[in-house]
Structure 1
Amino acid sequence: MTVAASGEWQIPADIPAETQWHAARVPGTAARALTDAGLYDPENPDPLHDKDVWYRARITPRTTGRHTIVFEGLATIAEGWLDGEPILISDSMFAAQEVEVELSGDAELCLCFRALEPHLSRKGPRAKWRTQLAKSQGLRLIRTTLLGHMPGWCPEIHAVGPWRPVSMFSAQDTFAEIVEIRSDLLEDGTGKLDISLRLADDPRNVYLACAGQMAEFLRDETGQLRASLEIPDVEPWWPHTHGTSRLYDVVLVLGDELVHLMRTGFRRIEIDRGADGTEFALKINGERIFCRGAVWTNADLLSLPGDRESYRPWLELAREANMNMLRVGGTMVYETRDFFELCDELGILVWHDFQFANFDYPVKDPEFADKVSREAEAFLAATQGSPSFAVACGGSEILQQAAMMGLPPERWSGPLTNEILLEATTRQRPDVAYVENSPSGGAMPFSPNEGVTHYFGVSAYRAPIEDARRADVKFAAECLAFANVPEPVTVETRLPAGIGHSPEWKARVPRDRGVGWDFEDIRDHYVEYLYGEKPLDLRYGDPERYLDLGRAAVAEVMEAVFAEWRREGSRTAGGLIWNYQDLMPGLGWGVVDATGEPKSAWYALKRAFRPLQIALTNEGTNGLDVHLINDTAETRPVTVELACLRDGRIPVVSGSMEIDLGRHCAQKVAATQIIGAFFDTTYAFRFGPPAHDVTVARMSDRETGEELAHAFQFPLGRGKALHANDIAVTLETPSEGEAMLVLSCDCFAQSVHIRDDGFRPSDNWFHLAPGREKRIRLTRRHGIPADRQPSGEVAALGSSRRFTYSAG
């Protein structure tokens, strides 16, 4: 039962505890509770780590006698009392605590979360280096999240309180405890399932059932019950971009009673280092997978939730954007079983760092090392049987930090990543890949041409898009960081005035400590690089266009980079955007803003990550290459069409080709093969004035005619292909709750964007070629009344005109 079943948890409005108490959510944080009480402003947070925070609740057991209270997560230095008697001391946010108590009736449970600040100043073993990431070097000694402690990265909202569930049970409540579960896919296609468990009673004839197979549990020498199943020709679990994410029910059979234990999937994961040993790619079920997605931050920084309903909208958006991997970095928190189960269902691979980042941790201290080992074992045990868990990583930027401080290679790593975390993973999850640290590999840990890298050549280091190929990236566990501009509705309702220059605006822009630039400066650089316009002049004279060009530029960069990385011949096997969601309303790194609204980058990635994809790359005097990609499990008969347009309107040359595109493959075709003759598609030979300003490529299903993907290339640059145009807009409402925009244009329209505050479009910030209709599904946003109808406007980057639509 839940501890708070007989009454709400309470938190005082201020410290000391004699002051007025207020209701508090558990699981939850003090910041959340105080915000609910109107006593805390998350957009201008006050420190919480300099004070004690108290919680209390009345608990009522269903029976008298021995009970166990389970505290799944207490942030961070906590003490507990039951009816005034001390029962608990905890000094790790990531360690669960179980306390046995004797109960004869109602009791009062009190928790005090001690101020963390005094602990941050205590001395520990001397560190080999200091990091600029966090304010306090003392965080290396304490097991707590770095969220809230990284200026310039996220708001200083400190994690304090019972952030994970508190529950209570008696011996009578305990039925079965899963000790170990292993689900594997053997090379011959057999699924293998091994389970060991403990039962409160000692029944006979206990069976394990899964996928139509059954095996009896037998007791081993330790007293545990063990059963093993082999399932021939099992349907494997795939990431959703490459096949079906098949899950099977695991059932305990006790006579006529069936007890559902969990769902699992069968898959096999390997790391492919390539012929020369420098590569890093994941192979799932024997197939090399291009992993694409983003670095997950948190569903809600204020509450740090761990339940399905908090995760669901964010994870469904990730799947909709064709992401097949999310990485939880070492600066975040451990995500819960609910997170992994949803990723299992949605077919999203999880790369999860252990919660270590940038610091030199004191693992030579036996007590600290033991704490780390228990933390890792508990996290891994909670994920057992989850097929989505693909990579366990020893943390973030530890090796990089040491290398950048000038230390020799032998001092970059140590027992934390090479022994403790590796051994825990081997014991608990031998079916997942282990990576020592992110980044790692190469002459420097962060060298992009070997192993795992954090690639910011394009973006933070202002390299041209061509650097995405020149860097020879093997696997980017972080990449492409920009201050991504939210959609207009968020800017107008949640951001301060003073676009691009006011202190309040700039406070919402992420930055690295100790540098003279921020990530809005990076976005501005690419606006000028792509369009030849001066961001400073735009901020002065046309701030709305300034933001629109910023949205468009980021989208264009992301599509172009992934066109390079996914093409045939590329040795890049993955790219994860830094990062997935913003932690507060603003111009954060997230491709989804803190309200849950996708930004222009999300729409670009949705296109760039399509399982069936067409892309164009400029190969100079070698011409234009057309790249066709089929990640799916079936061969697809497709038609490829290509047209070079003058003035965005007149086809100068065109052609088409029919291709049977094989399963799980990438294929390259020269544009001249499709056209059937020589044409200077890239304007590399320059025999006279340019003949065209945009090339349009389409891939469609040969049998149905459905357009699967499209791509565009600009031989003279994007700024030379901005055309005034007329966009015809038709709104269709075929049935209740459905709406479809049908768009067409007389001339190429660049970065077409739709604004409808009540409905979210299925595509946005896209290019529209003349001569074809584009259909955009409109989905009612959460909280919009059922009687509200679609109404909005459509515009393109090259025109000041707005084209409106309305159901009325």
Structure 2
Amino acid sequence: MALLRTADRTLDGPWEMIVTAPGACAGPEGLESLIGFIPAPVPGTAAGALRTAGRWSDGEPTPLHGSDVWYRTTIAGRGREILRFEGLATLCEVWLDGTLLLSSRSMFLAREVPVDLDGSHSLALAFRSLAQDLARPHKRGRWRPQLATPGSLRHARTTLLGFMSGWCPNVDAVGPYRPVTRRGEGGCPTDIDLRTSVEDGTGILAVRLTFPDAGGPVVLRCDGRETTLAETAPGRFEGRLALPGVALWWPHTHGEPRLHAVAVAAGDRDFDLGRVGFRTVTMLRPFADGLSLAVNGVPVFCRGACWTPPDIVGLPGDRESYAPLLGLAVEAGMTMLRVGGTMLYEARPFHDLCDELGLLVWQDLMLANFDYPVDDPAFRAALEAEIAGLLDRLQASPSLCVVGGGSEVEQQAAMLGFPESIWRAQAVEAMLREAVAERRPDLVVVPNSPSGGDLPFSTNAGVTHYYGVGAYCRPFEDARRAEVRFASECLAFANVPEPVSLTEAGLTDPRAPAWAGGVPRDRGADWDFEGVRDHYVGALYGVDPEALRRDDPERYLTLGRAAVAEVMEAAFSEWRRPASVTAGGLVWLWRDLAPGAGWGVVDVAGRPKSAWYALRRAFRPVQALLSDEGLNGLHAHVLNETGRPLDATLALTFTDAAGKVAAKAERALSLGPRETVTLSSAALLGRFFDATVAYRFGPAAHALAHLRLTGRDGALLAEAFHFPSGRDATPREIGLCAALVEEGGGFALRVAATRHALAVHVALDGEGRSSDNWFHLAPGAERRLALTGTKGRPGGTVRAVNGSEAVRF
């Protein structure tokens, strides 16, 4: 097992690249007569190099799978070295001085080759035409999915990105998209295998490594403690270090994601082996009853999104590309990101950052929808090596908690009518469980996403892809009726970006033909996800979306942004209430893959959309929720997921739209760490009040219920709203006002309204954003919003969807 290599150096080049006809050059000697090489960063892709050279169009991506792509550089040195290729997309030959060293057929396997250097040498990488390989005769599967074409992709170990029409642009992933490194033999420890566990509160660090040149005792150090490793074979050292009372690693919402530096010393030499975390991940109920996770024995409601790469053109894997997006996930209160089987394995910096930030990672195998030929020995061997490489690479990562056998493989077969004996992915599950037991026994294995019920997509078992509220246009009540146990995908909409992003993309008019290109759809479906969003616009606001789109496109987009925010908050409010059976929900999708109204809650430029702001409110670790319990009134729920006690004040107010109070109650609360409380409206008020307008004793006394949770200092911690008679979005004077104030060396925006303000939204004139957006204001309420990312004194406009005012600041 090879987890860490302390002596690896990046082979930076400079590299250059050329695109040729398939088979134009049998070997690198044929390149000498060619002209047209361009600089090519490595790690990187051919598409990325073309983009840098100004030879790329996002609107019309250059097809690359039908060509050969050659990379070349010069490598100098003397003696035996190991060249390591972390990721080669996809059919690649490695040549040194005209001699073929290796051929790789998997984008997902790291490859190593020894070389003997004696001066300056020519290194060439030939990426052969994947299209030609896919076009040759292949054994057909038992079913053909609509997700991606061609069907022969079932035999290829490459990403489905670029092959999924309606999902993402047709960008071909070709090139050395992960680092190429070199290392000499000897001098440093290699084949380093680190494992962590927790036993009765004691952290256990076990290590095995190869160090023939140690020259004496090898000492393992961590958390200020050390032990001497035993030499179990010549040059092979092993041992374990017990760390009683070591600080544990937690998701950022529940505690501190503590990491501990690990080093070994031999004589007067010290070697940094990176950092590790100590934590346990366990299941709280049988998988058939629904996935439910505990970290360090504490239940964690897993909420977040299904991850997308930072850039599908260049496929970057550096910290600088990941950090802003992962920072937004933390800011939104997400606890989990799922890397699904339609994507690709992310680079080590992604996992390092998740470790540091306290984000749990669900990692699928790169298998999706197809009937994969696991009975073929060559395919099976490649997949086994892929699984082993994944687990070895992430063997010390505390954020990794779930590994899954892929995405919608079982669902695809089941929906086509095949019996369980066909759709159940037993071979891959067995392969995965065996590898996890050997390499990462602390992980939870999920057979497939979805899986676990009478049908793999049953909502009340295992894990499900829940689109009842969403693609299937079910009412909000379905989120409870479906008894969702764990939604590893959910709530997909064509989420409209903010105006600044639409302007940059030239997509300001939803009636223009170009607009439809940015709207996702499932291949073969006669509907798209804009129609799904429009359904909820009509249901929530009582308007005709098509007429609004035609007559007032700006208003159409505004209500679209507001609607998805409402749906996101409503669904997670249902799922997070203490009595809910739901233990997690991951929104489809994290980030757009192209400009336009895509699935992402963050747009292609990395800017949050209305859905992100809604999730930021819905995911608060200290949270206040309202649920409509019909004749039992409204129930107020307060959640404290943190490890700290909570002293707060809870206020429940019922008003009409103008702010006249019909009923009001206030109560001081003290909650311990990880504690929740539920109080009915009757218990809070101490009397009967038709809080849900269920009894029908005449006209409703209120139009709005407002739950507000404040801390000791009066600061707002969380709030929730309930609209017993629906949301009236008719524009009117609501007394909306806004003022810019200087605060802490920056700027904040004070927003208030005399009447209820629905979906208040802030649009800055330039770059930057407010700390909250697309939120409601109770009558007479005020919010103070921090402004970040602005330059100079910011300006902008504040509006509400039910307000006639456009307030400048």
| TM-score, normalising length: structure 1 | 0.95
Residue ranges of structure 2 left out of the alignment (5+ in a row): 1-7, 25-30
The aligned runs of 1:551-570 (5 Å cut-off) are 551-570=561-580
Instruction: Note the C-alpha offset of 1:74.
Output: 0.7
Match of 2:614 in 1: 604
Q: Which residue does 1:714 correspond to in 2? A: 723
Out of 196, 216, 219, the residue aligned to residue 228 of structure 2 is 216
> Does residue 322 of structure 1 match 2:313?
no
* Matching residue within 598, 612, 620 for 1:588: 598
In the TM superposition, residue 404 of structure 1 has moved relative to its aligned partner by: 0.9
Q: For the structure 1 residues 3 and 628, does the alpha-carbon distance in structure 2 shift closer, same or farther, using more than 3 Å as the test?
A: closer
Q: Does 1:655 align with 2:665?
A: yes
Conservation of the 8 A alpha-carbon contact between 2:47 and 2:62 = no
Amino acid at match of 2:716: E
**What is the rounded CA distance, in whole Å, between the counterparts of 1:332 and 1:139 in structure 2?**
14
Q: Does 1:399 align with 2:421?
A: no
Displacement of 1:69: 1.4
Tell me which residue corresponds to 2:778.
769
| Post-superposition CA distance 1:539-582 (Å, at most 9, x none) | 11111110000000000000000010000210100000001001
Question: Which position in structure 1 is the counterpart of 2:750?
Answer: 742
Equivalence for 1:244: 256
Cα drift, residue 202 of structure 1 = 2.9
CA shift at 1:497, angstroms?
Answer: 4.9
Partner Cα separation in structure 2 for residue 159 and residue 256 of structure 1:
46
Residues 721 and 221 (structure 1), Cα distance of their counterparts in 2 relative to 1, 3 Å cut: farther
- Residue aligning to 1:91: 105
Q: Does 1:60 align with 2:76?
A: yes
The change in CA–CA distance for 1:415 and 1:469 in structure 2 (over 3 A counts) is: closer
Residues 539 and 720 of structure 1, relative CA distance in 2, 3 Å threshold: closer
Contact 1:695-1:713 at 8 Å conserved across structures: yes
Q: Does the C-alpha gap of structure 1 residues 105 and 320 become closer, same or farther in structure 2, counting only changes over 3 Å?
A: same
| Corresponding position of 1:341 | 352
Check if 1:78 corresponds to 2:92: yes
Q: 1:167 aligns with which of 181, 206, 213?
A: 181
Counterpart for residue 127 of structure 2: 113
Residue 308 (structure 1) shift: 1.2
Counterpart-to-counterpart distance in 2, 1:293 and 1:100: 42
Question: Where do 1:1-12 residues align within 5 Å?
Answer: 5=12, 7-12=13-18
**1:735 shift after superposition:** 4.5
1:198 aligns with 2:176: no
Distance 1:3 1:119 in 2: 31
> Which shifted more, 25-34 or 422-431?
422-431
- 1:254 matched to 2:254? The reply is no
1:233 equivalenced with 2:245 (yes/no): yes
Unaligned runs of 5+ in 1: none
CA deviation after TM superposition for structure 1 residue 592, in Å? 0.2
Residue aligning to 1:30: 46
Describe the superposition over 1:318-375 as per-residue Cα deviations: whole angstroms up to 9, x where unpaired.
0000001000000111112211110011000000001111111111111111111111
1:49 aligns with 2:65: yes
Aligned to 2:485: 474
8 Å Cα contact 1:13/1:19 also seen in 2: no
Written as runs of structure 1 = structure 2, the 5 A alignment for 1:268-667 is 268-273=280-285, 277-499=288-510, 501-667=511-677
Please list the CA deviations of residues 213-264 of structure 1 after superposition, one character each: whole Å capped at 9, or x if unmatched. 2111111247521120111122211101111111111121334443221111
* Match of residue 193 from structure 2: 180
Structure 1 stretches of 4+ moved >4 Å: 1-5, 13-17, 720-723
CA distance in structure 2 between the partners assigned to 1:667 and 1:222 by the alignment: 60
Deviates more, 1:246-255 or 1:635-644: 246-255
The AA in structure 1 aligned to 2:402 is: V
Q: Percent identity?
A: 48
Rounded to whole Å, the distance in 1 between the matches of 2:288 and 2:426 is 24
The whole-number CA distance in structure 1 between the counterparts of 2:163 and 2:668 is 56
Distance in 1 separating the partners of 2:426 and 2:696: 59
Please give the secondary structure, in 2, of the residue aligned with 1:447: coil
C-alpha separation in 2, matches of 1:34 and 1:14 = 14
Secondary structure of the 1:614 match is: strand
Local SS of the residue matching 2:289: coil
- Measured at CA, do residues 388 and 708 of structure 1 come closer, stay the same or move farther in structure 2, by a change above 3 Å? same
What SS is found at the alignment partner of 2:119? coil
Distance 2:731 2:266 in 1: 70
Q: Deviations over 1:7-45 (max 9, x none)?
A: 521112665652311111110101111111111212321
Shift of 1:443: 0.9
Give matches, 1:670-749, under 5 Å: 670-701=680-711, 703-719=712-728, 723-736=732-745, 738-749=746-757
Matched residue SS, 1:758: coil
Question: Could you tell me how far apart the structure 1 residues matched to 2:422 and 2:285 are?
Answer: 24
- Cα distance in 2 between the residues matched to 1:790 and 1:214: 54
Mapping 1:751-766, distance limit 5 Å: 751-756=759-764, 757-766=766-775
CA 722–464 in structure 1, closer or farther in 2 if over 3 Å, else same: farther
**Secondary structure of 1:536 counterpart:** helix
Q: Deviations over 1:185-212 (max 9, x none)?
A: 22x2111110111114132221111122
Secondary structure of 2:158's match? coil
- 1:759 and 1:127 map into 2 onto residues whose CA distance is 50
Aligned equivalents of 2:732, 2:647: Cα separation in 1: 34
Aligned to 2:743, the other structure's residue is in SS state coil
Structure 1 contact 50–117 (Cα < 8 Å) conserved: yes
2:113 aligned partner, one-letter code: V
Please report how far the alpha carbon of residue 97 of structure 1 lies from its aligned counterpart in structure 2 after TM superposition.
1.4
Aligned equivalents of 1:583, 1:393: Cα separation in 2: 23
CA pair 416-33 structure 1, distance change in 2 beyond 3 A: farther
Structure 1 residues 724 and 412: CA distance shift in structure 2, 3 A: same
Question: Residues 734-756 of structure 1, C-alpha deviation per residue, up to 9 Å, x if partnerless?
Answer: 344x1111112111111000011
Partners of 2:519 and 2:530 within 8 A in 1: yes
Match of 2:36 among 13, 20, 36: 20
Counterpart Cα distance in 1 of 2:683 and 2:747:
40
Cα pair 1:647 1:721 within 8 Å, conserved: no
| CA displacement 1:143-199 (0-9 Å, x = unmatched) | 101011010111110110111111222225x5112432111122x211111011111
Question: 2:27 matched to which residue of 1?
Answer: none
2:143 match: 129
- What is the CA deviation profile of residues 260-297 of structure 1, one whole-angstrom value per residue up to 9, with x for unaligned ones? 211111101112225x9512101111111100000001
Distance 1:23 1:525 in 2: 49
Match of 2:795 among 791, 798, 801: 791
Partner amino acid, structure 1, of 2:143: W
- Give the partner amino acid of 2:42: V
Paired residues in the alignment total: 791
Looking at structure 1, the residues matched to 785 and 173 of structure 2 have their Cα atoms a distance apart, in angstroms, of 41
